[in-house]
Structure 1
Amino acid sequence: MSANEDVIRPSDAKCDEASDAEFSESPSLREWIRRVVWFNFLYLVFFHVGYILSIITYVFGLYSDPVKWQTIVWVVFLFLTVGVGITGGVHRYWTHRTYKAKLPLRIILMIMYSAAGSYPIFYWVKDHRVHHKYSETNADPYNAKRGFFHAHFGWIVQPRHPEYLRRGREVDMSDIIADPVAMFEKKYAVELRLLLCFGLPTIIPILCWNETIFHAVLLLCFIRYITIWNATSSVNSFSHIYGSRPYNKSIGPTELPIVSFFTFGEGSHNYHHTFPWDYKATESLFKHFSLTTLFINACAKLGLAYDLREASPELVEKVIRRTGYKSKNQ
C-alpha cells in the first residue's frame, strides 16, 4: 500500500494469514491491544483530545477574543457541504449508483468529500459494498455485532477480519476504476486531505476576515472535523443497534430520526438497507428530512444529475406487509 493510500484505513496486511478464530466478536482487552493499528489509533486520539479541549475552551471561556460571526457561518457552511459530499457523493452516488452524475457534479462531489478528511473514495466504496452484501457478519467491516464501539470507531483501529479480505476480493470495483475523478482522488488522497480538509478551511478565515489562528484551528481542525466524523460513524453504530425496523425486521439496520438530523437523511437505515438503490435513502423527504435529497433534486433540475432511482410506494407497501413491523428494539 502506498503512502497516499494509507489514509486512516485499517491494515489488511496484519490479518492476511490470521485465522478466523483470532477475531472473536468479544476479544479480551489484551488481545484487542495486541492487534491495534497504532497510527490510526493515535491519530484518532489526538484529534478527539483536541476536540474535547476545544469544547472545554469555549464552554468555560478560556480564550478572551470572541469568535467572528463569519467564522461561525463558515463552519456551518463546511459542515453542510462536507456532509452532502459524504452522503450524496461517496455514498449515494459512487457506492450505490442511485443516480447518474455528469462530470462537473462528480468533480464538485469529489471536492466536497475530500474536505471531510476521510479515506479515498475507492476504499470507502469497497468497504460499504461489502457492508451491504454481508451486513453484520464477519465480512462486514463495521460489524455491529462486535459491539457499539467497534461499529463506531473500533473497526478503524483494528485490522480487518479475514472474512472481509475474502469477500472484499469479490467486490466489483470496475466502475470506480473507470471513473477518472474517483481515481484522481485516490492518487492524491493525502494532498487533497491536507489542502481541502485542513489547509484552506483554516487559512480562509485568517486571511479573509482576520480571524485568530487559535479560533481557526480549534473550530476548523478539531470541532468541525471530529463532529462530522462522529456524525458519519453514528450511521454504522447507532443506526444498527437502536430504533425500529418497519421495512425489514430480519436485518439489523434501524430507523433513527436523530441520526438523520445530523447526517442529512441517512438515519432511515432500515429503509436504506431494504432499498439501497433508492436515491432518497428514505421513504419520503418528510419522514426523514434529507438535505442530501434536496441537493440531488436541485442538481437534477440543473441538469447535473439524472436517472434518479427510487422505490415506488406500491413496492414499499408490499415489502412492509411481507417483512416489516414498527416496534422498537426488536
Structure 2
Amino acid sequence: MYNVIMGETVTETKTKTETDATFEQQQTIRMKDMVRKREKSIMAEEESSQSPYLKPKILWFNVIFLVVLHGLAVRGLFYLPTTKFHTVIYAYFVATIAGFGLTAGIHRYFAHRSFKAKLPMKILLLACYSVSGQNTVPDWVRDHRVHHKFSDTNADPHNVNRGFFFAHIGWLMQQKHPEVSRRGKTIDMSDITNDPLIRFHTKYFTPLKLLLCFILPIAIPVLAWNENFIESLFVVGFLRYVYTLNIVWSVNSFAHFWGTKPYDKRIRPTQNLILSIFSMGEGWHNYHHTFPWDYRPSEFGGYWINTTTMWLDFFARLGWVYDLKTTSKHLVQQMAVNHGDGSSQGSKNSTVTISESDTSFRKNDKN
C-alpha cells in the first residue's frame, strides 16, 4: 500500500508540474504578443507623428467652463472658516467615495480588468464613479486604453510631450489630435459596449451624474444638520468637485514629470509618493505602466499609501471581488534590475537571470 500511495503522490506532483509549466508557457506567449503589439503600435505612431498637424482648435466653451468652475472652487475656500466642521469632513468623505469610483472602478476594473467583480460590486463601483462627475464609462475607458497603448505620443489624449499644462488640463480645452481619434477606433471596447449594466449607466448618465455628484451631496448637509445652503453649495459642491478633478489630472501630469523610475526608466511615468497619498494609491505610475494588469498597482507600501487596494482586499474577503491579478516578485525584480533607474532597493547589488517563463502575470484568487 505504501508503494501505491507513493506512486499516486509522484503522479500528482508530476501532473501539477506539467500544469504549471503549461500555464507559464501560455503566459509567456501572451507577454511576447503584448510586447510585439506595443512595438508595432509605437512604430506606426512614430510614422504618423511626422505628418503635418495644424494648430489645434480651442474649445472655448470648455475653457470658459473650467475657468469659471475653478473660480467657484476658490470662492469655496473662503467659506471654509464659517462652514460647520462636520460639513468639511463630509465633503472629504464624498471626495473619497468619488476617488474610489475612479481608482477601483473606472480605472482598475473597467479600464484594466485587473480583477473580477460580482453584480453588487459593479453597481457600487458605477455609483461611486457617478459621484466623481467624470465622462461616460465608454469615453473614459477608451481614452485611458489609448493612453496606455500609445503613451506619450500624439495618439495619447494627454501627451506629456506637449507640456505640463496640456497633460494636466489643457487637453480638455482643445480639439483632440487626429491621431487620438484614429487610434481610438482600434481599441477593443467590446467588454464595455456589451455590458448591459454599463449601457444602462450610459443611457441615464446625465441624471445619475447630477443626482449623485451634485444634488444629493449638496442637499444632505442642509437637510441633515441644517448647514447653510450656500456654504454647502460652494464647499461640498464646487470645492470638493474641483479638488477631485485635479487629483485625477495630477496623475496625468505630476506622475509623468517628477519622481523615480525604479522599474522602467525608458518611459515617462514615475513613482510619486505624495500623489499616491492624495490619489488613494494611483501615484505609483512607473509600476503601473510597467505592469498595467496589477490590481494594486504597487509592490510595496502599506494601505495608508494605497487605500484603494485596502478596500479591494476588504471586498475580496466579502466575496464581491475575486481573481485579483498581481505580478510575480521575480518579474518585478527582473524589470528593476534590467530597465530601472536604480532607485529600487531590489535592483541594488542584484543579479537576475532573465527567464522567459517569468514574463507572466499571476492571478491571486482571494474569493
1:309 corresponds to: 325
Whichever residue aligns with residue 151 of structure 1, its letter is A
Aligned pairs (5 A) from 1:56-71: 56-58=78-80, 66-71=82-87
Whichever residue aligns with residue 76 of structure 1, its letter is Y
* Stretches of 4+ aligned residues off by more than 4 angstroms: none
Which of 58, 61, 73 is equivalent to 1:51? 73
User: How far off is 1:322 after superposition?
Assistant: 1.4
2:357 corresponds to: none
Q: Deviations over 1:83-119 (max 9, x none)?
A: 0110000000000000000111000000101111110
Matched, 1:22 2:33: no
User: How far off is 1:45 after superposition?
Assistant: 1.1
Calculate percent identity across the aligned residue pairs: 44
Which of 330, 334, 352 is equivalent to 1:318? 334
Tell me the distance in 2 between the aligned counterparts of 1:180 and 1:263: 29
Tell me the distance in 2 between the aligned counterparts of 1:287 and 1:140: 31
1:148 corresponds to: 164
User: How far off is 1:287 after superposition?
Assistant: 9.0
Structure 1: unaligned runs, 5 residues or longer: 1-18, 24-30
Whichever residue aligns with residue 138 of structure 1, its letter is N
Tell me the distance in 2 between the aligned counterparts of 1:39 and 1:114: 23
Q: Deviations over 1:58-95 (max 9, x none)?
A: 4xx5xxxx322331231121111110110000000000
Give the count of matched residue pairs.
295
Tell me the distance in 2 between the aligned counterparts of 1:116 and 1:52: 19
Tell me the distance in 2 between the aligned counterparts of 1:156 and 1:87: 20
Q: TM-score, normalised by structure 2?
A: 0.77
Tell me the distance in 2 between the aligned counterparts of 1:149 and 1:46: 17
Tell me the distance in 1 between the aligned counterparts of 2:222 and 2:238: 16
Tell me the distance in 1 between the aligned counterparts of 2:310 and 2:303: 14
| Contact 2:87–2:236, Cα closer than 8 Å, also in 1 | no
Shift in CA distance, 211/288, structure 1 to aligned 2, threshold 3 Å: closer
Shift in CA distance, 217/287, structure 1 to aligned 2, threshold 3 Å: closer
1:8 corresponds to: none
1:295 corresponds to: 311
User: How far off is 1:178 after superposition?
Assistant: 1.6
| Contact 2:77–2:235, Cα closer than 8 Å, also in 1 | no
Tell me the distance in 2 between the aligned counterparts of 1:129 and 1:249: 21
Which of 161, 165, 169 is equivalent to 2:181? 165
1:232 corresponds to: 248
Matched, 1:127 2:158: no
Tell me the distance in 2 between the aligned counterparts of 1:83 and 1:150: 22
Aligned pairs (5 A) from 1:251-262: 251-262=267-278
Tell me the distance in 2 between the aligned counterparts of 1:210 and 1:20: 60
User: How far off is 1:181 after superposition?
Assistant: 2.0
1:249 corresponds to: 265
Tell me the distance in 2 between the aligned counterparts of 1:293 and 1:53: 34
Whichever residue aligns with residue 112 of structure 1, its letter is C
Secondary structure of the corresponding residue to residue 310 of structure 1? strand
User: How far off is 1:327 after superposition?
Assistant: 5.5
1:96 corresponds to: 112
Q: TM-score, normalised by structure 1?
A: 0.86
Matched, 1:78 2:94: yes
Tell me the distance in 2 between the aligned counterparts of 1:282 and 1:288: 13
1:16 corresponds to: none
Q: Deviations over 1:242-298 (max 9, x none)?
A: 111110010010001011011000000000000000000111243982110001101
Which of 8, 18, 36 is equivalent to 2:58? 36
User: How far off is 1:169 after superposition?
Assistant: 0.4
| Contact 2:303–2:309, Cα closer than 8 Å, also in 1 | no
| Contact 1:271–1:281, Cα closer than 8 Å, also in 2 | yes
Tell me the distance in 1 between the aligned counterparts of 2:293 and 2:95: 25
If each structure's helix is expressed as a fraction of its own residues, which one has the higher value?
2
| Contact 1:20–1:162, Cα closer than 8 Å, also in 2 | no
Matched, 1:136 2:137: no
Secondary structure of the corresponding residue to residue 309 of structure 1? strand
Whichever residue aligns with residue 86 of structure 2, its letter is Q
Q: Deviations over 1:130-154 (max 9, x none)?
A: 0000000000001000000110001
| Contact 1:282–1:288, Cα closer than 8 Å, also in 2 | no
Tell me the distance in 1 between the aligned counterparts of 2:197 and 2:309: 22
Decide which structure has the larger Cα Rg and report it: 2
